[in-house]
Amino acid sequence: MLSKIVRTVTNEFMLFILVFGFYIIAHGHLTPGGGFQGGAVIVSGVVMLLVAFNSQELKKTLHERVLSIMESTGALIFIALAFAGIGTAFCYNFLVGSPIFGRIPATGPNPGDIWTGGVIPLMNFAVGLKVIAGLSAVVLAMALFSSGEEIEE
Amino acid sequence: MRRITGLIALIVLVGFLVWGVLPPIMHDFGYPDASDMDDYIIQNAQEETGSNNVVTSVVFDYRLLDTLGEATILFTAAMGVLLLLRTEKRRKEGS
């Protein structure tokens, strides 16, 4: 565990990293970025927490079981959305034109609208959830393993 | 013997790579082969998918099957790491 200054600054920065990561995920269909990139941003914040506190301390708040459930939920949403358009074709974007995320922007450069994109924002959300949970679980498991205190037998 | 085999393999590989960039096979530098697909996506992506970010509309709509594989890779990797490096105490045998 690092000094109190580092821990306080990390706690303050974590909020901004979370907001920035969720912004990248939510605006994936308007601005550069998307689920993978925003998830990686948030996981970098988790790694920062892991450096500032140690893995034993972080384990009390981030449970691996919860992370596994989050990752599986993201994968299930992804698959379900891919199968939901199977009336036309697998992976068909069936929400374009519907009231939910269905607006169609003008062709050419324009500022855009958050309610566009069909299933793309929902897919971004699912993939973001998956990347956050999956990579956090991987990093946490590796840190706990290399700390060597949890290895039984 | 292994060195000679490796040398022959290296020469064959270098020859193949050099042959690959000779002018009759490779088209002129800077000129793409065909741009029909690019033109179609650039013209129609906003109208068909409703997404202003054309790159995202390719990744999450036109080529969603590819992204599905990508997500599967991530899922499998995380699952393998969690399986190998699990931190919960293992149950003792026979109880």
Quick check: A152 pLDDT over 80? no
In angstroms, the CA A80 to CA A20 distance is: 27
**Smallest Cα distance from A117 to chain B, Å:** 4
| Contact between residue A118 and residue A95 where contact means Cβ atoms under 8 Å apart | yes
ipTM score of complex:
0.82
Residue B31, in any domain of the structure:
yes
In the predicted model, what is the mean pLDDT of residues A38-54?
A: 93
**Smallest Cα distance from B93 to chain A, Å:** 11
Quick check: B11 pLDDT over 90? yes
* Contact across the interface for A138 and B81, Cβ inside 8 Å: yes
Residue B78, in any domain of the structure:
yes
In angstroms, the CA A37 to CA A22 distance is: 10
Closest to B51 (Cβ–Cβ): which among A64, A120, A127? Answer: A120
Closest to B52 (Cβ–Cβ): which among A110, A133, A145? Answer: A110
Closest to A105 (Cβ–Cβ): which among B52, B82, B90? Answer: B52
Q: Is B83 on the interface with A (CB under 8 A)?
A: no
Residue B91, in any domain of the structure:
no
Quick check: A149 pLDDT over 60? no
Query: B78 contacts in A (CB within 8 Å)?
Result: 71, 133-135, 137-138
| Contact between residue B53 and residue A110 where contact means Cβ atoms under 8 Å apart | no
SS3 readout for chain A: CCCHHHHHHHHHHHHHHHHHHHHHHHCCCCCCCCHHHHHHHHHHHHHHHHHHCCHHHHHCCCCHHHHHHHHHHHHHHHHHHHHHCCCCCCCCCCCCCCCCCCECCCCCCCCCCCCECCCHHHHHHHHHHHHHHHHHHHHHHHHHHHHCCCCCC
Q: Is A112 on the interface with B (CB under 8 A)?
A: yes
Residues in contact with A24: Cβ distance below 8 Å, sequence separation at least 6, in sequence order: A31, A33, A34, A37, A38, A41
* pLDDT tens per residue across span B51-61: 888 899 999 98
**Smallest Cα distance from A10 to chain B, Å:** 26
Angle between helices A120-147 and A64-84 (to 10 degrees): 150
Residue B15, in any domain of the structure:
yes
Q: Is B46 on the interface with A (CB under 8 A)?
A: yes
**Smallest Cα distance from A61 to chain B, Å:** 15
Looking at the DSSP bridge assignments, the partners of residue A116 are A103
> Between B73 and A107, where is the model more confident?
B73
In the predicted model, what is the mean pLDDT of residues A59-79?
A: 90
Residue A24 is encoded by which pair of tokens? 């990248």
CA-based R_g, chain B, Å: 25
Parent domain of B61: 2-84
| Chain centre to alpha carbon of residue A15 | 15
Query: What is the total count of domains within chain B?
Result: 1
Q: Is B87 on the interface with A (CB under 8 A)?
A: yes
Neighbours of B3 (CB within 10 A): 7
Supply angle C-alpha A47, A53, A58, rounded to 5. 75
**Smallest Cα distance from B34 to chain A, Å:** 23
Global pTM reads: 0.81
Q: Is B62 on the interface with A (CB under 8 A)?
A: no
Residue B92, in any domain of the structure:
no
Residue B90, in any domain of the structure:
no
Residue B55, in any domain of the structure:
yes
Residue B60, in any domain of the structure:
yes
pLDDT band for A144, please (50, 70, 90 cuts).
Answer: confident
